[in-house]
Structure formats: structure tokens, C-alpha cells
Amino acid sequence: MSEVPGDAVERAQVLRQTLEQHNHAYYVLDAPIVSDAEYDQLIGELEAIESQYPALRTPDSPTQRVGGTAIAAFEPVRHAVPMLSLGNAFEDEQVLAFDQRVAQTLRGAGQLNGPEVAYFCELKLDGLAISLRYERGVLVQAATRGDGQTGEDVTHNVRTIGSIPRRLAAHAPQTLEVRGEVFMGQADFEALNQAQAQRGEKVFVNPRNAAAGSLRQLDPKVTATRPLRFFAYGWGQCSEPLAPTHDQVLDWLSCLGLPVNQAEHALVQGAQGLLAYYREVQARRSSLGYDIDGVVYKVNDLAAQKTLGFVAKAPRFALAHKFAAELAQTKLLGIDLQVGRTGAITPVARLAPVFVGGVTVTNATLHNEDEIARKDVRIGDTVVVRRAGDVIPEVVEPVLALRGSETKAFQMVSQCPVCASAIERPPGEAVARCTGGLFCAAQRKQSLIHAASRNALDIEGLGDKLIEQLVDKARVQSLADIYGLTAQELAGYERMGSKSAQNLANAIAAKREPPLERFIYALGIRHVGQSTARDLARSFKTIEQLMAANQEQLLAVPDVGPVVASSILRFFEQSHNREVIEGLLAAGVKPQAPELGRGQSDFAGLTFVLTGTLPNWTREQAAQAIMAAGGKVSGSVSKKTSYVVAGEDAGSKLARAQSLGVAVIDEAGLQRLLGAPE
DNA sequence: GGGCCTCGAGATCA
DNA sequence: CTCGAGGCCC
């Protein structure tokens, strides 16, 4: 390092600063200060200095934008604060309902000053969500959304995106996670496709997929040639206190050098303000120059956002108002029947390929036989197909005017198309089910596919084609058998060479100690989804205790009612289900009890009661913190109470908690649960 | 559900 | 070299 002359160090620093300014002017402000040639000359000079003195080549240097070396794989990244999804609305009524719910909650909490709620409005860009992590102002990591908790490291590619600063302004906080959307403009997309076609390479079907594909390149040099853009719309972890409102925080992000789509933002009052914004954006949608699939509304006041809290995976303070789905007409070629994990028989429409909503649709669900009858859809009909952004394509109705004489009405079968068991449809229910249970190969396969899936045990490399083979060859009957598979025997299956087999064997071994909630969810108990599985894991701590639970204990779990409870009891009553679990435990699978402390701040499904005087917090502050983490605060202790937080001079509530056997913690205990500050 | 990228199996060719 | 499978994005 000492060999680098001081003037080179200085010159490199000046060049870097100048280049970052030009980048900002060009990409963020869309107002270049210098010509491309001048820019190239500057970057060339910096490049020369850096190659002469490699010690000066820092990862945040503008020269590194063109792309470093290819990586071997996308590493998982755990988000410090989860990346949530948003609730959706398609109709005005849903927006009115959202506003009413918000207003009511805030009025109840005394946080509504004035007659209407103040909302922040923005465009919902059609790209992919990204989280950028800055430490001491330097971009250190970029990750995709993933399942919201854990995404993939795409730092190498994100560094090549011009509008994403590699270094923030000097007053940047110690740590800052910025959330935003990576996307591609329509003109850039067209130009890219033209260039791709000229080179004889594949053209992309729409800007979103082009952007997504560009970010999933192993070699950042490819990404560097793709015209990707970025707008910040939110944040995760931040080491400094934030301004009190959403718009102010975004202004601050903008001052730090991040691109924020301020020209399209609006602050409005109440539901009518939201709808007016929606209409105004809708009218200008085609002239924006980039794809959007709707608009997003957020309660502007951050304290109010905290009060509103979260449901499952989405904040209650925000709503995505999506544009109406696109429609198209095509021919219904046939109706296939699919047998699901629970035996549900779903009719699926096979369609003549048709381009709608940015993709080519060939399949669409028809839900159930009543829906087919209600819509009077017949095989051979010309039908209207609907598809909106991320919504699964749907057959809306037949075009009766175009109905020929060759149409055929759909007839539900009476036997399972896979195992020939009787099909039952309980009165009052819409779905017909195969009664074969795990005797039915389709149900066995589907339950295994479910168990291996990303939200359940997340066994990479165990896809549906392989499961199909394993079940057909009778090698695998139940989940427990999966853990007995060796690399050696796996290598004997179709499309499984020694490499794939070893990878899968490793993936299976790596999931031998799954979190209990994933284990429970993987079992595929009817009515037990991810969030119920989590509640059950928290309440019972071990699979043995869950299996031994009676109706009363199950009903004491938050959000578990009679239907869910009896479904769980019925599941564990069946000996083959118990055998599967025993087999799993015998195979060395050890579900891990949930850890509530240690930095985890997800209280969904937990109810707290505060009593007595806490040493450092007012009751109000403690309640705020609990609700911000997704928990509920209640006034009285019952069996459903998860924790009683007791301070000094706690009275009858503490006594009642003790008599009911409810866990009692003090303020320090609560802070541990909330995840003590890092 | 559809589109994208990557990995690796398996075919093909030299 | 091609292409199917799997994983990930919306």
C-alpha cells in the first residue's frame, strides 16, 4: 500500500467522486452533466490508475460497475427485517373497506387527527423487489425477496445497475436496508430485444421477465449490458431513528442519493383521495414508459403504521390496488382432472395458446364442477380468459355467440381417475374428493411434493418428476422413506446422475433438523397452513405434545377454532399418520422447537397482557412494541394469553396468570422476546 | 400459471 | 450440444 503515490490516491478519489456525481445525474436525475465521451474518458483514467495500483481498486469503485467475476451460486441471505407482501384490491369497494378499517383502528387508538386518514400513494412497478444493504454508506449486499425471510444474494449483479449508488451521501446511517423495485423501461426492453434478435439470441417476452432474468445471471458482465433501473420505495433495518412520516423518509432516501420516483408520488386524504389517485394514474398508465400493475397506498404516519400492525405476511397499513386483469378469447380444447394433496379433484382447462397479460396461457383452473355449470362452459367453446400480473389465469365465461354445434358438456367422474376410489362430495361443499387417502398414488405424490416444497421442509432437488418416479417404483410410500434415500440408489433414477444424486442426498441430510413449524406444515394437515403451523409450534414446542393434545388444548391456541382442532385430532387419530411421524423420528429427523428470543421479532398469533408498572417503559410503549412486532395486547388474562408481562405491584392479573399456568415475564423478558437491540 | 436461468444428464460427434 | 428438471420471480 505504501508504494502507491499520494497523488494517485488523491486523483482516484476525485475521479470516483466525480463519476458518482455523473452517475447520479444520469441515472437518478435523468439529467446528464457531461457527454458520454467525457464520462468514458474519466472512467478510462480511473481504470488506468486502478490497474497500475490494484490496491486502489475498491469494491465500491465506479469501474466495478461493468461487472466483476462470475459467481458460483446464489447464496442465501437472511433479511434483517422480513420483506412482506401486500394485500390486494381490485375493486373500489375493497379500497373503501381498507380505508374504513384503517380509520376505525386509528380512531380507537386516538391517532386520527382530522376527519380522514392521510395516505401516501405510489406506483406499483412491475419488476422485482430487491433489498439493498448499506453499511457506513457503502452498498455491501443486495438480495432478492425470496420467501420474505431469506432471499438470494445478487450483489454482483446489482452493482452493475447504474442508478443504484454504491456509496451513499456522507450523512448516511451506520446500517440501512433499502427496499425497492428493479425494472426495465419499455423502450429499453424493445431495444434490448432488437439487439438480442440481431445477435441471434433469445428475445424476452416482457420487460419484467427480462429484468428478472438479468438479475439471475451468474456473470455480472451480462447483467451490466442490460438496461436495468431502480426505484426505492421502502426500507428495512435502519440504525438511525426515522422521520415521522413515510414521505419524509423517502425524501431522506432521495437525499442520500437513492432514486425515488417522487414525480409519481402523492399525499391524499381518505378513500376518495385514494380512488382519485388511482384513476389519474390509470389514465396516464400507457405514457409512463414502464410497466406498472397498479398503485400502492400506505398510511403516511409511521406511528399509525405501527399501531395497525400486520396480518400473517402483509402489513395492515398498506394496500396494492391493482388494475383490472387483461382479457382474451381462445378455444377450450378439453378439461383435465387433477387430484390434489387432500384428494380434491380440480378440473383444469386445456386452452389453445393465447397471449394475455404478458404471457401465453395454455392452462387455466376451472375451480370445480359447480363453477363450470354456473358459467355453462363446454368443451369446444370459445372462452374468455383473464389474467392479471401475478394472478393465476382463469376462464371467465363462454362466448355464447360463437358456440358451435360440436360442444360437449363437462361430466364429473364418479371414480378417481388415478386410483379408482369413489369420489365423494359432501352436501354443501363445492369440491369433490377422492376417498382413497394415501392409498391414492396421486395424493401420496402431492403430499410429498408439498412436504418437500419451499415453505415446508424445503428440500432442494426433490421435485415432482423425481417424486413421481419414487412413488411409482414404490420406493417411497411416505415422507419418512425420503430420509432413507442414499446417493447411491438415487443415482439409478431417470435424469439422476451421480452429481444430482449426491446433491439431493446432501439436501435431505441438511433438513434433518427442520423448525417444528415447517415440520408441522409439511405434514399437510387439512386447515393447517403456514401460519397455523407456526402457532401450533409455539404453543406445543414438540411434535409429541402436539400429537397428544386434546380438543381443549388445541382450542386454546390462537386462531384455532373447532374446525381446525377437529381436523388436527382426526389427522393424528389415523394410525398411518402416526406411523409416518414415528418413522421420521426413527430416521433421525429432529424438529426444532421455535426460539422466541434472539432477535426474532415476530409476535403473530401471540397475545400479551400487561400488568403492574414496568421499570423503563410505559404501558403504552410496551403495547406499541408488541403490536409493532405483530402481537396482540389484551386487557384480561385467559387461557389464550401467551404471556403476562408483570411489573412492580402487579395485582390480580398476575395471580390469575399463575393459577392458569400462563407464562409470566418481566420487562427484560419482553425485550428479549422482542430481540434485544443489536 | 408462465417465463427465466442454471445445472447436469444423456446424446452426439470427433 | 441439447434439453429436461428444478428453483425462483411475479
pLDDT tens profile A100-111:
999 999 999 999
pLDDT one-digit tens code per residue, A554-563: 999 988 999 9
Dihedral angle sign, alpha carbons of residues A207, A210, A213, A214: negative
Name the residue with the least CA to C1' distance from nucleotide C10: A390
C-alpha cell at A588: 433421525
* Mean pLDDT of the A460-473 span: 94
Going by C-alpha positions, the residue among A139, A142, A160, A164 that lies closest to residue A151 is A142
Sorting pLDDT into bands at 50, 70 and 90, what band is A629?
low
Protein CA at A198 to nucleotide C1' at B5, angstroms:
21
Per-residue pLDDT band at A36 (split at 50, 70, 90): confident
Measure, in angstroms, how far nucleotide B14 C1' is from residue A495 CA. 25
Which residues of A carry out catalysis?
124
Percent of chain A topping pLDDT 70: 90
Residues 6+ apart with CB under 8 A from A509: none
Average pLDDT over residues A321-343: 94
Find how far residue A88's CA is from the centre of its chain.
14
Tell me the pLDDT tens digit for each residue of A392-416.
899 999 999 999 999 999 999 999 9
Q: What is the pLDDT of residue A598?
A: 38
What's the CA gap between A195 and A227, in Å, rounded?
12
Strand B close to A362 by CB, under 7 A: yes
Amino acid code (one letter) for A494: E
Q: Quote the CA–CA distance of A675 and A337 in Å, as a whole number.
A: 48
Element (H, E) at A672: helix A667-674
Rounded CA gap, A151 and A457, in Å?
16
Q: Which helix (H) or strand (E) holds A657?
A: helix A652-660
d(CA A598, CA A127): 34
Are the C-beta atoms of residues A228 and A182 closer than 8 Å to each other?
Answer: yes
Task: Identify the residue whose Cα has the smallest distance to the C1' of C7.
Answer: A460
A106 touches strand B (CB under 7 A): no
User: pLDDT of A259-296, one tens digit each?
Assistant: 999 999 999 999 999 999 999 999 999 999 999 999 99
pLDDT of residue A1: 47
Beta bridge partners of A150: A78
For residue A356, the cross-strand partners are: A359
Q: Is the pLDDT of residue A631 over 90?
A: no
Q: What is the rounded average pLDDT of the residues A193-216? A: 93
> Residue A672's pLDDT is what?
58
**Strand C CB-contacts below 7 Å:** A 126-129, 144-147, 151-152, 208, 212, 216, 293, 389-390, 454, 459-466, 495
Q: Any atom of strand B under 7 A from CB of A201?
A: no
Determine the protein residue whose CA lies at the shortest distance from the C1' of C3: A495
Q: Binning pLDDT at 50, 70 and 90, where does residue A13 land?
A: confident
Is any atom of nucleic acid chain B found less than 7 Å from the CB of residue A497? yes
Kindly report the bases of strand B lying within 7 A of a protein C-beta atom.
1-10
Q: Is the CB of A453 under 7 A from strand B?
A: no
Nucleotide nearest to A182 (CA to C1'): C9
Which is higher by pLDDT, A648 or A179? A179
In this complex, the residue with its CA at the shortest distance from the C1' of nucleotide C8 is A146
DSSP E strands in A274-317: the ranges are: 292-299, 310-311, 314-315
Q: How far is CA A132 from CA A80, A115, A224, A238, A417, in A?
A: 11, 37, 18, 12, 49
pLDDT band at A80 (very low <50, low <70, confident <90, very high): very high
Strand C nucleotides with an atom less than 7 Å from a protein beta carbon: 4-10
Q: Which residue has the higher pLDDT, A598 or A559?
A: A559
CA of A56 to C1' of C9 (A): 37
Q: Using the 8-state DSSP alphabet, how is residue A539 labeled?
A: H
| Distance between CA atoms of residues A470 and A483, nearest Å | 13
Residue nearest to nucleotide B7 (CA to C1'): A500
Q: Is the predicted pLDDT of residue A117 greater than 80, yes or no? A: yes
Beta-bridge mates of residue A179: A131, A234
Residue length of chain A: 678
- Under DSSP, the state recorded for A438 is G
Alpha carbon distance A516, A525 (integer Å): 14
Give yes or no for residue A617 having a pLDDT over 50: yes
A206-244 confidence digits (pLDDT tens) = 999 999 999 999 999 999 999 999 999 999 999 999 999
Cell of A571: 389427522
Beta-sheet strands, E only, within A300-381: 310-311, 314-315, 318-322, 326-339, 345-356, 359-365, 378-379
**pLDDT value at A30 more than 90:** no
Task: Give mean pLDDT, residues A603-613.
Answer: 71
Q: How many angstroms is C1' of C10 away from CA of A309? A: 25
Residues 373-412 of A with CB under 7 A from strand B: 390, 392-393
Confidence of residue A505 (pLDDT cuts 50, 70, 90): very high
- The C-alpha cell of A212 is what? 428478472
Say if residue A662's pLDDT is above 50: yes
| Average pLDDT score over chain A | 89
Report the alpha-carbon distance of residue A151 to residue A144 in Å, rounded: 5
